[in-house]
Amino acid sequence: NMKHCRSERQLLWTIHLFALLVVLASFAHAKEDQKVTINEFNNKIFWEKDKQGMVELELFFSNVTDSMLIVAVADMDGDKYTDIITINQERSAFRVFLYNSKLKQFIFGEREFPVSC
């Protein structure tokens, strides 16, 4: 009975979450005075959407002269800003770029991290 109750609750939460997503998506894609039906939701939002492709993004790294690949994002210094961890193309070195909210840039070498990180 406990497993049955738990699976029923999970199913109800899944249905509620899906319904909420449908409502939010319809609000996001509806024009003024236009109602969004389930068919429009099924076609316009998911299947007929433009392909995105690759987008170039300038991250304002400081002191970067070589190509680095982003491998992870995390809050490395506990300041509630997302920091970026990169490796070089040879995969022989990694760097941690901490986000500096005052400069609005990712700064390398602002803080030391243990080797075990």
The pLDDT tens digits of the residues spanning 75-108 come to: 888 888 888 888 877 777 778 888 888 888 888 7
Spatial separation of the C-alpha atoms in residues 108 and 62, rounded to whole Å:
7
pLDDT > 80? residue 2: no
Query: CA nearest 98: which of 71, 78, 117, 69?
Result: 78
The pLDDT tens digits of the residues spanning 36-80 come to: 565 655 555 555 555 666 555 566 565 566 677 777 888 888 888
Contacts of 59 (CB under 8 A, 6+ apart): 84, 106
Helix H or strand E encompassing 2: helix 2-29
Q: Where are the alpha helices (DSSP H) in 30-79?
A: 38-40
